[in-house]
């Protein structure tokens, strides 16, 4: 597993991280059993995956709890990113004066005395420039040694640039994948500021795993797509199959596309079983051919960015 610099923290992280939304999460889909989740996290560590992304709202706090249990005795081997804003009780509250409370709760669930990074979890745009005291509160916690880095999880280059130009954040998590490349316009500026970049939703909520097509139907959190969007996405999946071969799955190719950007610190696909973990980790074995990267960029520029695919 290759590692990359994690912003200005002095740490390095595995190129392929571990998205932990699914750990203990029986609210959005069938949750894993506790022992299965713990085993999976430890298997990831054994394979060189050291970056774990979680949040209080994932599984109503269960994701953090399971990570804490799995990393007991191995905390120094892991880099943990959690978030603030979506609470374990299912409520949403971005009040700056509640950041310390949230951090203390996360520390307890994660069974640790420090967080490697913590992010405002998709906050309102008005909170991104720091005028409401969010980053002052986080800086105070950093000075106390309870957190090492802080920032926000966002979905657009506009949000990224608001953070980059108006605050001193050290970490940004952003949506970016083959079917959503808009945020790449801010990558260079983030790198110039030595900001760690975490890429979320790298498989476009499953579409870039190759398991869905124009005839697919969905329930739960993925029921948000209209029939027209499903059709468009299915057609796009067919068009990008040139990135696969006998040794490269769609998932591996999708992750390699993201890793073709040197500004990215780590990418966090979700992991539900050992097979997915092995497939994700294998994405780091070799780079995507430059010609494939270029073709996917051109497809975005010429066609996909004009479509209303949502997320």
| Element counts in the chain: helices (H) and strands (E) | 10, 10
- Average pLDDT (70-92) is 97
Distance CA 19, CA 15 (A): 12
Q: Residue 64 and residue 16: Cα distance in Å, rounded?
A: 19
pLDDT tens digits along 107-119: 999 999 999 999 9
pLDDT of residue 29 exceeding 70 = no
Residue 65 covered by a domain: yes
Coil, strand, or helix at residue 110? Answer: helix
Q: What is the mean pLDDT of residues 113-136?
A: 98
Whole-number pLDDT of residue 22: 86
What does the CA dihedral 257, 260, 263, 266 come to, rounded to 10 degrees? 60
* Statement: residue 27 has pLDDT above 80: no
Q: How far is CA 79 from CA 6, 30, 125, 160, 268, in A?
A: 10, 27, 27, 22, 13
Q: What are phi and psi of 25, to 5 degrees?
A: -95, 90
167-216 pLDDT, tens digit per residue, is 999 999 999 999 999 999 999 999 999 999 999 999 999 999 999 999 99
Residue 115 pairs with which residues in a beta bridge?
Answer: 147
Classify residue 143: in a domain, yes or no.
yes
Q: How many domains does the chain have?
A: 1
Among 204, 200, 30, which Cα is nearest to 119's?
200
Question: Is 303's pLDDT higher than 90?
Answer: yes
Q: What is the CATH number of the domain that holds 223?
A: 3.20.20.100
Longest dimension (CA), the chain: 53
What does the pLDDT average to over 2-21? 97
Confidence label for 310 from pLDDT (cuts 50, 70 and 90): confident
Q: What is the mean pLDDT of residues 89-99?
A: 97
- What is residue 211's DSSP assignment? -
pLDDT at site 84: 98
Share of the chain above pLDDT 70, in %: 98
Residue span of the structural domain in which 62 resides: 3-306
pTM of the predicted structure, to 2 decimals: 0.96
Distance CA 192, CA 251 (A): 29
Average pLDDT, the chain: 95
Q: What is the pLDDT of residues 35-67, one digit of tens each?
A: 999 999 999 999 999 999 999 999 999 999 999
Nearest by Cα to 15 from 199, 147, 174: 199
pLDDT for the residue 106: 98
Question: Could you report the per-residue pLDDT of 256-300, keeping only the tens digit for each?
Answer: 999 999 999 999 999 999 999 999 999 999 999 999 999 999 999
Q: Does residue 311 lie within any of the structural domains?
A: no
Count of other CB atoms within 10 angstroms of residue 200:
21
What's the burial of 59, exposed, middle or buried (CB within 10 Å: 0-12/13-18/19+)?
buried
């Amino acid at each position: 597993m290759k590692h990359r610099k994690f912003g200005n923290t002095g740490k390095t992280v595995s190129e392929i991280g571990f998205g932990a939304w699914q750990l203990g999460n029986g609210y959005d889909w069938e949750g894993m059993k506790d022992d299965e989740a713990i085993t999976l996290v430890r298997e990831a560590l054994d394979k060189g995956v050291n970056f774990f992304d979680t949040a209080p709202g994932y599984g109503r706090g269960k994701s953090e709890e399971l990570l804490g249990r799995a990393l007991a005795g191995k905390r120094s081997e892991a880099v943990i990113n959690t978030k603030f804003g979506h609470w374990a009780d299912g409520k949403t509250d971005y009040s700056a004066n509640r950041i310390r409370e949230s951090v203390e709760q996360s520390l307890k669930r994660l069974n640790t005395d420090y967080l490697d990074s913590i992010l405002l979890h998709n906050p309102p745009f008005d909170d991104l420039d720091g005028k409401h005291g969010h980053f002052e509160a986080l800086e105070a916690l950093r000075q106390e040694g309870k957190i090492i880095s802080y920032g926000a999880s966002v979905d657009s280059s506009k949000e990224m640039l608001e953070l980059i130009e108006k605050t001193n954040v050290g970490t940004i998590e952003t949506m970016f994948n083959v079917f959503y490349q808009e945020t790449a316009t801010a990558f260079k500026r983030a790198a110039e500021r030595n900001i760690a970049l975490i890429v979320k939703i790298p498989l476009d909520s499953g579409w870039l795993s190759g398991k869905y097509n124009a005839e697919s139907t969905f329930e739960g959190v993925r029921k948000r797509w209209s029939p027209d969007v499903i059709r468009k996405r299915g057609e796009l999946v067919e068009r990008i199959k040139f990135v696969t071969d006998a040794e490269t799955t769609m998932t591996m190719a999708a992750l390699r596309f993201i890793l073709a950007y040197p500004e990215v610190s780590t990418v966090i696909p979700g992991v539900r079983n050992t097979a997915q973990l092995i497939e994700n980790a294998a994405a780091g074995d070799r780079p995507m051919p430059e010609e494939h990267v270029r073709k996917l960029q051109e497809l975005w520029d010429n066609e996909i960015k004009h479509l209303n695919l949502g997320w």
